[in-house]
Amino acid sequence: MSIISNNISKAIEILNQDDLVAIPTETVYGLAGNIYSESAIRKIFALKQRPLFNPLIVHIKSIEQLPELAREIPEKARRLAEAFWPGPLTFVLKKQPRVPDLVTAGKDSVAIRIPNHPVALALLEALDFPLAAPSANPFGCISPTSAAHVAAYFPDSLKMVLEGGDCKNGIESTIVGFENGTPVLYRLGSISVEDIEAVIGAIEVKNKKEVAPDAPGMLSRHYAPRTPTFLTDDVAAFIQAYPAKKIGLLLFKSRIEHPAVHAQEILSEAGSLAEATANLYAAMHRLDKLGLDMIVAERFPDHDLGMSINDRLERATKK
């Protein structure tokens, strides 16, 4: 029997019993549990095989709930929240003592957002506690953008995936923190740097790839298909060198015909970066299931959401 269900009352019951439910959001599906339940939080880390030093994002239902968890809310965070919440923007803020250390991996800060998905919001509305929810994939794997992706990852170890359709944005939230009051972007995501800067002015991008970054989930190899994956500016030229391989292509707008190409995913025929972003992970999941020798991805234009797509493609291709 499938673990996918749209029974929201059942989801509430499971979460109230310190257990986990995978929930839809507008970015990717999350593996959710009560932030105040130590056993629920431990289950999240265990199920994802996630290192305990990598903190979780907390999901809240309204901006009024923010002071319960964050002890300082910079003016620029307020302006960004007004512009983008509910939505795919996560703030890293100084935490209130009541936020458990397990959730923040011992950090003095907590990552928080309000998801923009009717099912997630209805769930949060019905619960007495915020939900910690990392992306619902095993550590290092491609994030899930459909209930079926989650069910395939955790067929036996998860009680329920709450159905909420395909994720509209399709990659993770953008993460913004503050260092001595100055905003810093820690993870490129569903909201572009340009859109953030339109609200608060210039922001430093520290979307780093070093081993111990501020956002430990940004460890370089992440979001990776099992099939060896390559990123190039010129796909047609790249594949000439591999005539005998079974190749899958991940392309922006147009197809490439070549005998070695066994499958190709066009992320947006119309050339829309938002549409390409929404399709990215689902296309990676499909290509990864085909038993190909290699996946070759095309580098995107390096602006707006193209920057976020390139970031994920670089992480997927890192050796």
Residues in touch with ligand TXA (CB under 6 A): 25, 27-28, 30, 54-57, 88, 90, 92, 104, 107, 109-111, 115, 133-135, 172-173, 175, 186, 214-218
Could you tell me the smallest distance in angstroms from the CB atom of residue 235 to ligand TXA?
Answer: 28
**What span, in angstroms and rounded, lies between the C-alpha atoms of 72 and 94?**
6
Distance CA 285, CA 133 (A): 21
Residue 229 binding: pick among ligand TXA, Mg ion, none (C-beta 5-8 Å cut-off by kind): none
Nearer to ligand TXA, 137 or 317 (CB): 137
Spell out the residues 6+ positions from residue 246 whose beta carbon is closer than 8 angstroms to its own. Answer: 260, 262, 291, 292, 293, 294
Site membership for Mg ion, residue 264 (CB under 5 A):
no
- Residues 166-195 interacting with Mg ion (rule: CB under 5 A): none
Is there a contact between 258 and 234 (Cβ–Cβ < 8 Å)?
no
Residue nearer to Mg ion on the CB measure, 171 or 305: 171
Dist. CA 111–CA 90, nearest whole Å: 6
For residues 47 and 36, give the distance between their C-alpha atoms in angstroms, rounded to a whole number.
18
Residue nearest to ligand TXA (CB): 217
Q: Which of residues 7-26 bind Mg ion (CB under 5 A)?
A: none
Residue 5 CB, shortest distance to ligand TXA, in Å, is: 18
Nearer to Mg ion, 90 or 109 (CB): 90
Give 31 or 235: the residue with its C-beta nearer to ligand TXA: 31
| Per-residue contact string for residues 107-146; x = within reach of Mg ion by CB under 5 A | ----------------------------x-----------
β partners of residue 230: 296
Between residues 145 and 264, which has the closer beta carbon with respect to ligand TXA?
A: 145
Nearer to ligand TXA, 73 or 256 (CB): 73
Q: How far is the CB of 194 from ligand TXA (least distance, A)?
A: 19
For residue 289, the minimal CB distance to ligand TXA (Å) is 22
- The Cα–Cα gap between 104 and 112 comes to 11
Residues that bind Mg ion (CB under 5 A): 135
